[in-house]
Structure 1
C-alpha cells in the first residue's frame, strides 16, 4: 500500500481544510496522529491480518467473457462486491476504526448514503468493541431499509437526518455537529475521499489496496501488461481513487470516472459535478474545496440519482485535480442507462451489482466504443446489489407493466 506522505492538503486548487474553530482541536489531533499510527508495525500487522482473514482480501479480478462480448472489449471486474459486508467501504471503515482505537477514542460516528459505509463501520466497531452511531438521511433510510436493519443488528444506532433533502449531505451535517459536541471521546469515520484534510489522504490510503491488487492480478493474467483503461463510479470518489491510485503514474492507462446523470443534465435532476450547464462551480462544502452543484446564488443544489451512494453535490478534491489536469476523464450515466447495464451483467454473468456499480458498467459500455479492437479494461464493481433489490424490483416491474 502507498505511503501517505505528500497526499494533500491541496490537490492543486482543490482540497484544503475549511472547518469551524470548534473542530480545529480534533482535526489537528488526527493530522498529528494518523501518519505516526499507520506507520507503526503494530497497526500494519493488525490491519493487514484483518484485511486477509476478516475482509477476505484479496478480492478476485474476474474476466466476464459474456459481458465482454456484449460490449466489445475484454472486461475484468475488480470484485469489491465479494468483500465482507458487500462493498469496498470495509477497507476504509476497518482502517479508520483501528486508527480510532489506537487514538484512544471510545465512540465512532459516521455518515452513510447507500448504507454500505454504515454497514461497514458498524461491522468494524462491533469487531473492535467500539460504540457506534450512524447518521443517515431519512429518505435514504427508506430506500435502503435492508442496510438499516443490518446496521442495527450489529449493535450500532442509526440516527435519521431529517433536514434538507434528507440524503447524504444532510447526514454529514448532522455527524459534524455531533463531532463538535463530543470531540474528546469521539472519532468521525468519514466514508469518502473528501472532507477536510487529512480525510481525503486517509481514505485514499485505505482504498489503495483495490488498485494495488488489481494491478498485480491483471499483470498475472495478462503476461505483465497494464490495462488500457479503468472505469469506476464516482460519488465522493473513494472506490474510484482506490482503483486509480496504482495507475495514475502510468500515462498509457486511461482513467474514467462515471457520475450519476439521473434524469439527464437538462432536467436538473442529476448529480453531475463536472457538467457543462453552469450548475457546477468551485466551492467549499463540508470541509474542502472542489466542484459543487450550486444554484445561481451559490446555494447548494439539489441532487438526484437512482443510486443513493452517488447522490451528493460535491466530488472529491483529487478527482477535481485529475479532471482539471486531463489525467482522468469523467462520463455520465443516467438512471435508465445504469439500470440497463445492471440487467445486462445480471443476465450475462449471474452477478447482480449495486446501483452505484451499475453506473460504472454503463460507463464501460460507452468507453468501449472509444477503444480499439483488442482493448482490455478493468471495471471496479464496488458493491453488490442486495441492498437495492427493492428499488430494482420496483423499476423493472414498472418496465414490464407500463401504465
Structure 2
C-alpha cells in the first residue's frame, strides 16, 4: 500500500495527525504507541480477535446486492451490512480490538466517549464480556435523543456520565473523557470510537475497522469476479466506518472513494457539520486536522439531525484524503438523508441508522452508469433513531 495514505511514525497523514496532548497523558500515549503494533501482530492476539469477530460479532457481515434499489437508480448497488453486527453497528469491530489491547497492557478500568451511543454500547458490551469497569461520557443532549442506547449501556453495566458543558454533544463528551484519563493515568484505558485523537488512535482504529474493506474485496470477487468496485461510499463524522470501508482501496486510484458529510440544514446555514467545506486546519482532541472554527480559532458548534455526525472535525486520514483529492467529499442535508433512509425502508425492507442514510443519499445526488458497482457501507441500523424518524415523518 502506498505510504502516502498510511500514518508515518509520528502519526501524520501528509500534514495532518500527530499527538498534541497534555504532559500528564504523555506516558499513556507513548506506551500505547510503542506497544500497539507489536501486540496486534502477535498470533495469539490475532487468533483471539478473529474468533471473537466470527463467533461474537457475527462476521463476516453480508455484502448484499440491493436489487430494487439498483433498479431505481439504474446502477449496481451493494450494501455492506455492518448494521447486522452484534450491537447494531460497525463500532464493535474496534472496541473488541481495543479491549484485547487494554487487557494485554494490564488496564482494569475503561472509559469512552459516545455521540449517537453506538460506540458507548459497543464499549459497554466488550467491558461486560471481559468483566472490566466501564464509564461512558455522553453529551446531555445526546443522552436525551438517544435514550434507547443509554438504557442499553446501563443494562450492560456501564456508568453513563453526562457532559454538561459547551454544546453538550460529542465534542464535549470527548473533552470529559480526556479529563478523566488525565486524572486516572495508571489503571485506565481510553477506547476512542473513531479515527480521531492523538497518534496512534487514528491508525489503530482504522486497522481494526479495515476488516470491512477486507471482506468487501473477497465478497465482491465471489459475486462479480472483481475485487474492486467502481465506487465505495460511506458517511463521515469522525470517520471510522469510512476509514474501514476505504482502507484496502486507498492505493488503487481506479476505485473512487466518496465520503459523505452532514450538511445539516444547509452548508451555509450556520447549522451544519460539513467539515471539508467549512473547516480550516486546527487542533482538536490531540491531532491536527480540518476543523470548523471561527476567525479567532474558537470551535464552531456543529449540527446534524444525526447524533453520530455532528462532530466539528474529521479524522486526520480523512483530512488528508480530502486535501490530496484521493476521496470526493460531498455534503447531504437532514432532509435528503431522512428521505433516503425512508426510501431504503420501503424498497429493501432495511431501516438504516440516520448516519448511514446520509451515505445512501449519494444515489440521489450523483448519476452512476448502469454497469458501475457502487458499494455503500451501511454502518448501522436505525433502531436507535426511531424517535427521530417518528418526529420527522410524524408517524
Relative to the length of structure 2, the TM-score reads 0.97
Alpha-carbon distance in structure 2 between the residues aligned to 1:260 and 1:268: 12
1:317 matched residue in structure 2: 316
1:339 matched residue in structure 2: 338
1:303 matched residue in structure 2: 302
| CA apart distance, 1:225 | 4.9
Whether the aligned pair in 1 keeps the contact of 2:148 and 2:384 (CA below 8 Å) is yes
| CA apart distance, 1:324 | 1.3
Alpha-carbon distance in structure 1 between the residues aligned to 2:316 and 2:384: 28
Residues 43-122 of structure 1 aligned to structure 2 (within 5 Å): 43-122=45-124
1:193 matched residue in structure 2: 195
2:373 matched residue in structure 1: 376
2:7 matched residue in structure 1: 7
Alpha-carbon distance in structure 1 between the residues aligned to 2:364 and 2:256: 15
Residues 199-238 of structure 1 aligned to structure 2 (within 5 Å): 199-238=201-240
Alpha-carbon distance in structure 2 between the residues aligned to 1:137 and 1:243: 27
Alpha-carbon distance in structure 2 between the residues aligned to 1:264 and 1:230: 24
Q: Does 1:390 align with 2:387?
A: yes
Aligned residue for 2:302, secondary structure, equals coil
Q: Does 1:133 align with 2:138?
A: no
| CA apart distance, 1:300 | 0.1
1:16 matched residue in structure 2: 18
| CA apart distance, 1:257 | 0.3
Aligned residue for 1:283, secondary structure, equals strand
Alpha-carbon distance in structure 2 between the residues aligned to 1:388 and 1:360: 16
The Cα RMSD (Å) is: 1.5
Structure 2 portions without partners, runs of 5+: none
Q: Deviations over 1:61-103 (max 9, x none)?
A: 0001111111221100000000000000000011001100111
Q: Deviations over 1:335-386 (max 9, x none)?
A: 000000001000001000000000000123323x1x3332111000000000
Alpha-carbon distance in structure 2 between the residues aligned to 1:171 and 1:231: 28
Alpha-carbon distance in structure 2 between the residues aligned to 1:143 and 1:62: 30
Alpha-carbon distance in structure 2 between the residues aligned to 1:226 and 1:37: 30
2:365 matched residue in structure 1: 366
1:328 matched residue in structure 2: 327
Aligned residue for 2:20, secondary structure, equals coil
1:268 matched residue in structure 2: 270
Relative to the length of structure 1, the TM-score reads 0.95
